[in-house]
Structure 1
Amino acid sequence: MFTKHTVYKHDNFNMLTVEVQGKTLVVREISDQWGEVCHKFLSRPQLMDWAEKRFLPIDFPDGEEGLRLTMEKLKEI
């Protein structure tokens, strides 16, 4: 059985989810600009490394606070 986590959902077109499929973490980025992009990670440190490089405060409607909350939710997965 897979566990699905919604990391953020700004609206129906901008969201990030993570599915835990055994040892594999499947990240789905859905945006109004790029559509759906899927990433697969074999470890949580690999996921966090990607997230630290991928996200900036300007990517979130509430800036630094949105980035901080997103990173906290990713760490909890």
Structure 2
Amino acid sequence: MIKKHTIYKKDKWNMLTVEVNGKQLILREISDQWGEECHTFLSRPEMMHWAQNRFAKEKFDGSSEEHESIMEAFRNV
């Protein structure tokens, strides 16, 4: 059974979801700039490492509350 988690969704062109399929985590990031990027992780620590690099606080262009809610959503996967 595949369980889908929405990390954020601003509109139908800007969203990030994670599908849990057994031990595999399939992350899909859709943006109006870059299209769809898909990453497959074999563990939660591997996914969290990616998320911490992708959403590094010093490079994040949003509020600290927005950053924290994204990271919290990753931790809840």
**SS state of the match for residue 45, structure 1?**
helix
Please list the CA deviations of residues 27-66 of structure 1 after superposition, one character each: whole Å capped at 9, or x if unmatched.
00000000000000000000000000011421x4xx2111
Which structure carries more relative contact order (alpha carbon 8 Å, separation 6+)?
A: 2
Over the aligned positions, Cα root-mean-square deviation in angstroms equals 0.9
Please list the CA deviations of residues 13-34 of structure 1 after superposition, one character each: whole Å capped at 9, or x if unmatched.
1000000010000000000000
Query: Equivalents in 2 of 1:27, 1:64: separation in Å?
Result: 23
**SS state of the match for residue 70, structure 1?**
helix
Aligned length, in residue pairs? 74
Show the counterpart of 1:65. Answer: 65
Percent identical pairs in the alignment equals 55
Spell out the pairing of 1:1-77 with structure 2 (5 A cutoff): 1-55=1-55, 56-58=59-61, 60=62, 63-77=63-77
TM-score, scaled to structure 1: 0.91
TM-score, scaled to structure 2: 0.91
Query: Equivalents in 2 of 1:64, 1:11: separation in Å?
Result: 21
Give the gaps of 5 or more residues in structure 1.
none
Give the gaps of 5 or more residues in structure 2.
none
